[in-house]
Structure 1
Amino acid sequence: MSANFHHLRIEKFRGIRSLSWHPSAGVNVILGGGNVGKSTLLEAIALLLSPTNSYTLADADYWSRDVGTEFLIEAVISLPGESAINQQGAMAWPWEWDGRNAVLPEVTEDMEQAPRPAVYKIRVRGTAELELAYEIVQPDGNCVSLSVALRRSIGVVRLSGDDRSDRDLRLVYGAGLDRLLADRGLRARLGREIASDQIEQHLDQPAREKLDALDLLFGRRALPTELGLAFVGNAGVSVNALVGLTSDKNGIALPLISWGSGTRRLAALAIADSLQDGHPITVVDELERGLEPYRQRQLMKTLIEGAGQAFVTTHSATVVSASEPASLWYIDSVGSIGNLPKSKIARHQSVDPEAFLSRLTIVAEGATEVGFLAALLDRYVPDWSDHGIYISDATGNDNVLNLLEALSTGGLKFAGFADFEGRFDGRWRVLRDRIGHLLFQWERGCLEENIIPLIPHARIFRFIEDPTAEKTTMRLRTLADRLGIESVDFNLISDRSDEELMALIVAAATGQIPEDLVDAEKTVKNPYKGHSSVWFKSVVGGRELAEKVHELGGWPLLQVRMVPFLNAIRASVGLEPLPEVEQ
């Protein structure tokens, strides 16, 4: 049995004001955009289980740098029987886990009733004096000290996003290699061996003469004499820290810390896996750092197959795709963390993993909507991609609904842009209540059905024209086919009422099948479906549609519906609402 977090609570630690989380027992992959608290969450876990007391607090470790207000990191954790919980100076009493919370132990006379799992509530507080207070919270409300020995017996493996994991490859006190070897007498023996090695014997003659002259000078000034050279340590630098792992490379023993960063990280993890019977709690920040895609998949496989609980952050689409058996969590732009249900995100996880690596993802109905939104954001949210906004193609109305439902249930902030197909009205209404203006849905129909009627009749030919001059004739051909005429002369095609002409263009642009051909053979119907491909059914076509609605005078009729959605997007990434002049 390995140690396992059931609940984690963080209050006012660095950039996290308040967070409550029930992680899964296996691998927990934490996703989200930049500066939302992913690394801070992992550092909180590592600090709670730190195997030493050497951490020095700074005002930046406190919410808003207010050291007067303590921060709290608290976890409900189950412990293996071989942990040091029963070797505490004071008795640590267990709580019971009811599935959501740590509760007081239940006294029952029913011997057949299965007992609830025993858990312990541990925490670390950052006090107003910039000191750490490690405590075990007892069921009666009192606290006893959470010892270093207990924290070490729980075991935490930390691979941070910088080079600090290199310390695990050297005999630094409390580091992975030191805890693995656990040879407490090594320091004394090493000190004696090093002290007996007279380094001065290896000096060149001029250097030895200078050392002898210094010895004479010490004697004249009544200072210690018989000077020599040896490896020495002090309170800041340990001789043992100079000892590290080496590996043979072409007959030369190279220090492992001189190998590539990816190899160093994997080596540190291998050392950690040798601790605690291979079941420590593992914390990996930026798993992809220094690793090629195949090694990223290899490391994820190792973590997933391991028996211990793991917490991972990543910015890599490869890691997200390789995380299918793991539990995925998303931290949004306001710091809320929620689960990503596998059943509803499986397609996006494998096909479009970047959707879960942004500060705000807009789930769009299809390729046309992706291009249309991108062009709008270029105008009304400049540098939107730099703000961490990402537009994802859901490839269908049902997919938009399913994905947004899954994400919004966890309280996460995603946006949506969808057609109205007249189905699932109740579900769409609930979703709209949850995310407000971040959901844009047409009152009827699809994008083309709402945009095309906004174009003035006098400018309709400019609307039909392809900016690249490649598809204009093909577009006119689709209209002529639907009218049953051979000529693609625009004057002949447009010789009808505005309403009829707009309906004709909408039908061609959306690939509608004429009513009299609904029951016809596929060979007859399919060409009409294909008409949409020469209009706007692509990302480029969506951009063209957005540009033309502005160029041809349709935007004033559309902006009343679009501006609340655009302002909600801007607010989600910390931008002010659009100025009135742009609305």
Structure 2
Amino acid sequence: MQIRRVIARNFRGSQHADWTLPQQRFLCLVGAGDSTKTTLLDAIALVLTPRWGVQFTDADFHAGNLAEPIVLQLVVGDLDGTMLADSLFGLDLCGLTGDGQLVHDPVDGAEPCVMLQLRVDEELEPEWTVVRPGSVEPGQPVSAAKRKALGLFRIDDRVDTHLRWGRGSALSRMTDAGGSGRAVTLASRAARDAIFNGPQTELHAVAGRVAAAVSEIGGRAYTGLQPGLDPQGASSTSALLLHDDRIPLTSAGLGTRRLTSIAVQEIAAVGGDIVIIDEIEHGLEPHRLLHVLHRLKRKAVDESGQVIITTHSPIAVQALQAQDIFVVRSAAGETTVSQVPADVEEAQGALRACPAAVLARKVVVGEGKTEVGLARHLIRSWDAEQIAAGRPTHAALGAALVDGVGKTAPVRSKIFQSLDITALLLVDNDDRNVDDDIQAAMKAGVTVVRWQENNSTEAEIISTLDVKALTDLLQFAVQIHDEQVIRDAVVARLKNVASPGLLDPDSWLTAGHTLDEIRHAVAEAAKKKEWFKREDRGELLGAFILAHWGHYKDVVLGRRLAELRRFIYEA
């Protein structure tokens, strides 16, 4: 089975969402905080939950608007023969055409689908029905048993649920109806030792399968995973939980519990089940995260199921294929979901080089390390001013700063803009080979902050400095390079100055050079000798600019940086 479409109205952070899913079995939702990624997963989980006792509150209505009902709809396709039987959904099927249109009946050329709806009005009573597009009929009620047959598993922060033989847990699904009850009866009579020392039961066999699956998924190598009573003690099946030897798994670390929970649900899920996982990286080290991603994707493809995850992890973004990534955005209550296009050249490279971009609301793409370092220092200073004024920082506003890696920076900024991530390109102006790509980025909506024509970043900073400020800049350079190296690099470009000479712009003026010639020599030496071609050295340039802001604020460089600041901090 696969979800083909998710529609949500008046639900939590989303006034309206309409996401049409492509026919693929592994999908990863990314986006800034509060972009309603979890809202989409919640909508799926609530429509497919086998529970009747779902409680809603006024807070579940978008902006507290009780005048409009919550309406959640899922279109589920790729149905097997069991799902198509009259006893389940065979009498209530709709159709999905090749161009994504829903039709009342599964006519020739349309995929048979079932459209499930959950509606909640101000009375807060949920109502599950099967509906058809274009129909004026209220729809047929959907029992909990029918929803359970669709096989949804959700893995989130409540991982401990599936480490128990409680009602609705994955362990219970793997155990016959009486197995867990018999074990609890024994446990109630003879306490915990009766479980640990008693005869081998089906529960032990299930625990053994879980141990093997956890090892395969990259978790702990259990040597004695077995059922045992919760130390809290109870007579319900929820008191029966997995133990590692005599230690309850609920005492293990979050990563271990989360991996074990995923492994349990992998076993319980039959081919074709739908699995949704919120913040898959939570509690997992990078190597475990990468292994889990690979395994889940392979399992979904091999067993004809579907896995939908969310993540805030750059590592996860880098590990996945571009077409696996879906960027979620929310503006004025409207949720949109954009798939990263697999056929766009450089899309994969952009994600792997700049994964933070797709996890943000807006992104500053620096052309290279110098520009990134310069911008980072300025942003830290601007953040301090924002905090002092009681205004939000760049992080609170969801702004990211990434290295576009030279000539690819314009292309990457355009890709991010196409995914509804507002982009700014910070770039120098001494390379005519990138002009066409910069123009294309601008046409796509990217804000471009670029220096004066033919100026590198170093040249732009130096081009308006007086002798004293030039001396200050050279002293900044001496902090990271030997003074003799700095001096020789500049003097070699001043024909009237005898080598070795002095690191002193005043003496160069005395030797007969103009201020413009000296500026040009310093700028060329700084660029060619890569004085500032590292992020930490770019930060020194940012510090220099701030130290001389009284001069820069009224020249082109200051005006360009003011554009950068407005982009970051204006809503």
TM-score (structure 2 length as normaliser): 0.77
Identify the match of residue 173 of structure 2 among 173, 179, 187.
179
Q: What is residue 118 of structure 1 aligned with on the other side?
A: 112
Q: What is residue 37 of structure 1 aligned with on the other side?
A: 36
- After TM superposition, the structure 1 = structure 2 runs for residues 298-313 of structure 1, keeping only pairs within 5 Å, are 298-307=291-300, 308-313=305-310
Shift of 1:6: 2.1
Deviates more, 1:4-13 or 1:296-305: 4-13
Q: What is residue 281 of structure 2 aligned with on the other side?
A: 288
Alignment pair present for 1:459 and 2:469: yes
Shift of 1:478: 1.0
Q: What is residue 508 of structure 1 aligned with on the other side?
A: 525
Cα distance in 1 for partners of 2:452, 2:146 equals 60
Whether the 8 Å CA contact 1:50–1:152 is kept in 2: the answer is yes
- After TM superposition, the structure 1 = structure 2 runs for residues 21-32 of structure 1, keeping only pairs within 5 Å, are 21-24=19-22, 25-32=24-31
- Equivalent residue of 2:420, what SS? coil
How many pairs align? 498
TM-score (structure 1 length as normaliser): 0.76
Identify the match of residue 553 of structure 2 among 547, 552, 555.
555
Q: What is residue 146 of structure 1 aligned with on the other side?
A: 142
Query: What amino acid maps onto 1:360 in structure 2?
Result: K
In structure 2, the gaps of 5 or more residues are: 192-232, 385-392
- After TM superposition, the structure 1 = structure 2 runs for residues 49-448 of structure 1, keeping only pairs within 5 Å, are 49-84=48-83, 86-88=86-88, 91-103=91-103, 115-141=109-135, 142=137, 143-160=139-156, 162=157, 164-181=158-175, 183=177, 239-247=235-243, 249=245, 252=246, 254-307=247-300, 308-324=305-321, 327-332=324-329, 334=331, 336-341=336-341, 343-382=345-384, 383-385=393-395, 387-397=397-407, 399-420=408-429, 421-423=431-433, 428-435=438-445, 438-442=447-451, 444-445=453-454, 446-448=456-458
Query: What amino acid maps onto 1:265 in structure 2?
Result: R
Cα distance in 2 for partners of 1:508, 1:100 equals 59
Shift of 1:260: 3.3
Cα distance in 2 for partners of 1:177, 1:198 equals 22
Shift of 1:189: 6.9
1:184-208 Cα distance to aligned partner (Å, 9 max, x none): x6688789x5799699xxxxxxxxx
Distance 1:149 1:425, change over 3 A: farther
Alignment pair present for 1:499 and 2:516: yes
- Equivalent residue of 1:5, what SS? strand
1:257-298 Cα distance to aligned partner (Å, 9 max, x none): 344333332232233223452432111112122323332222
Cα distance in 1 for partners of 2:453, 2:298 equals 49
- Equivalent residue of 2:240, what SS? coil
Distance 1:90 1:4, change over 3 A: closer
Query: What amino acid maps onto 2:238 in structure 1?
Result: L
Alignment pair present for 1:482 and 2:493: yes
1:356-377 Cα distance to aligned partner (Å, 9 max, x none): 4344332111011011111221
Cα distance in 2 for partners of 1:440, 1:388 equals 20
Cα distance in 2 for partners of 1:196, 1:273 equals 30
Whether the 8 Å CA contact 2:56–2:124 is kept in 1: the answer is yes
Cα distance in 1 for partners of 2:318, 2:480 equals 38
Identify the match of residue 450 of structure 1 among 440, 454, 460.
460
Query: What amino acid maps onto 2:381 in structure 1?
Result: R
Q: What is residue 542 of structure 2 aligned with on the other side?
A: 546
Distance 1:122 1:412, change over 3 A: farther
Q: What is residue 12 of structure 2 aligned with on the other side?
A: 14
Distance 1:448 1:248, change over 3 A: closer
Distance 1:107 1:333, change over 3 A: closer
Cα distance in 1 for partners of 2:277, 2:526 equals 49
Query: What amino acid maps onto 2:313 in structure 1?
Result: S
In structure 1, the gaps of 5 or more residues are: 109-114, 200-236, 512-530, 573-583
Query: What amino acid maps onto 1:274 in structure 2?
Result: I
Whether the 8 Å CA contact 2:367–2:403 is kept in 1: the answer is yes
Query: What amino acid maps onto 2:9 in structure 1?
Result: E
1:170-197 Cα distance to aligned partner (Å, 9 max, x none): 23332322333362x6688789x57996
Deviates more, 1:414-423 or 1:83-92: 83-92
Query: What amino acid maps onto 1:176 in structure 2?
Result: A
Cα distance in 2 for partners of 1:170, 1:417 equals 53
Cα distance in 2 for partners of 1:375, 1:196 equals 64
Deviates more, 1:475-484 or 1:426-435: 426-435
Cα distance in 2 for partners of 1:58, 1:238 equals 30
Whether the 8 Å CA contact 2:364–2:426 is kept in 1: the answer is yes
Query: What amino acid maps onto 1:123 in structure 2?
Result: Q
Whether the 8 Å CA contact 1:273–1:280 is kept in 2: the answer is no
Please report the RMSD computed on the Cα atoms of aligned residues, expressed in angstroms. 3.3
Query: What amino acid maps onto 2:416 in structure 1?
Result: L
Whether the 8 Å CA contact 1:26–1:309 is kept in 2: the answer is yes
Distance 1:238 1:555, change over 3 A: same
1:348-394 Cα distance to aligned partner (Å, 9 max, x none): 54455344434433211101101111122123333434654331111
Query: What amino acid maps onto 1:463 in structure 2?
Result: L
Shift of 1:477: 1.5
* Identity score, percent: 22
Whether the 8 Å CA contact 1:330–1:339 is kept in 2: the answer is yes
